[in-house]
């Protein structure tokens, strides 16, 4: 159903085809040769389609542009609220999700900035939670650092808390516990243990010390 012509140009919304990749945009198309379609996030397309069904659609032109811009910002804000209600996000992760959903760069930047200003997104809080959970899962410092970097966060965001959460003693204790489990399960060859621990993100030095301790060879 297209917007009725009342002296202006009518328009319609074309939603992504079923089975399209996530983030595929909807398109606002105009029934006038030469007027290019406007791509919008699918969430915005659904709102515009509802306006058409309810007979509340604005005419093509400046008023439609204003309505679309307002809907883009509103849907982006609601998407942020939806995402952070499920789990914590880093600023970069949140921006990536919004861009994947089809929101334009300026809207993404504005919404992420406001999320940071309001405390909804906090990279230091995110990093602390991430480090604690991955340390409990048996990850070493190197693996944790790489995973955080992939999410746009540096351990520097933690300040002094970084050394507290990832102290050398705790790192060695975690590596030793993992090595002892391997030994108890019959996989107790030194080089194999060291490779395993390095794969979990422990430094070669920590891995070697932990492996030797687990094997009862601390001389």
For 158-214, give the DSSP string.
Answer: GTTHHHHHT-HHHHHHHHHHHHHHHHHTT---HHHHHHHHHHTT--HHHHHHHHHHH
The Cα 89–Cα 115 span in angstroms is: 10
* Residue pLDDT, tens place only, 167-182: 888 889 899 999 999 9
Listed range (71-85, 89-103, 126-140) with the worst mean pLDDT: 126-140
Cβ neighbours of residue 40 closer than 8 Å, sequence gap 6 or more: 25, 26, 27, 28, 48, 68, 71, 72, 102
Contact present, 121 and 94 (Cβ < 8 Å):
yes
Mean pLDDT of the 191-197 span: 92
Question: Would you state the pLDDT for residue 50?
Answer: 92
In the predicted structure, residue 145 carries a pLDDT above the cut 80: yes
181-219 in b/e burial notation, b at 16+ Cβ within 10 A? ebbeeeebeeeebbebbbebbbbeebbbbbbbebbeeee
Selection from 202, 217, 145, 134 nearest residue 168 by Cα: 202
Residue 196 has pLDDT above 90, yes or no: yes
Residue 138 φ then ψ, to 5°: 90, 20
Tell me what pLDDT residue 184 has: 87
Average pLDDT score over residue span 37-48? 92
At 17-39, the pLDDT tens digits run: 888 888 899 999 887 767 788 89
Residue 164: both structure tokens together: 């507290």
Supply 95's token pair: 């921006």
Give the tokens for residue 203. 């430094």
Question: Cβ-count burial of 54 within 10 angstroms (0-12 exposed, 13-18 middle, 19+ buried)?
Answer: exposed
Position 217 confidence tier, pLDDT thresholds 50, 70, 90: confident
Residue 85, pLDDT above cutoff 90: yes
Over residues 8-23, mean pLDDT: 85
Find the length of the chain.
219
Structure confidence at residue 154 (pLDDT): 87
pLDDT at site 6: 40
- pLDDT score of 8 more than 70: no
Structure confidence by residue, pLDDT tens digits, 106-119: 999 999 999 999 99
Q: Is the pLDDT of residue 3 over 70?
A: no
Regarding predicted confidence, which is higher, 34 or 12? 12
pLDDT at 218: 61
Give yes or no for a contact between 35 and 9, defined as CB atoms under 8 angstroms apart: yes
If one compares 163 and 54, the residue with the highest pLDDT of the two is: 54
pLDDT attached to residue 4: 47
pLDDT at 5 over 60: no
């Amino acid at each position: 159903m297209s917007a009725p012509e009342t002296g202006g140009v009518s328009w319609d919304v074309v939603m992504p085809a079923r089975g399209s990749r996530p983030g595929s945009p909807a398109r606002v198309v105009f029934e006038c040769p030469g007027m290019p379609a406007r791509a919008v996030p699918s969430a915005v397309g659904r709102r515009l389609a509802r306006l058409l069904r309810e007979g509340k659609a604005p005419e093509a032109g400046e008023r439609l542009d204003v309505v679309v811009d307002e809907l883009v910002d509103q849907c982006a804000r609601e998407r942020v609220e939806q995402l952070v209600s499920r789990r914590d996000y880093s600023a970069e992760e949140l921006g990536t999700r919004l861009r994947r959903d089809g929101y334009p760069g300026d809207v993404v930047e504005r919404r992420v900035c406001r999320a940071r200003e309001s405390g909804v997104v906090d990279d230091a809080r995110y990093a602390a939670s991430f480090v604690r959970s991955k340390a409990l899962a048996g990850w070493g410092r190197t693996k944790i650092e790489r995973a955080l970097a992939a999410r746009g966060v540096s351990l520097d965001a933690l300040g002094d808390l970084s050394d507290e959460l990832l102290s050398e003693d705790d790192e060695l204790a975690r590596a030793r516990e993992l090595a002892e489990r391997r030994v108890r399960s019959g996989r107790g060859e030194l080089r194999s243990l060291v490779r395993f621990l390095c794969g979990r993100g422990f430094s070669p030095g920590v891995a070697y010390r932990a492996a030797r301790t687990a094997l009862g060879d601390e001389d």
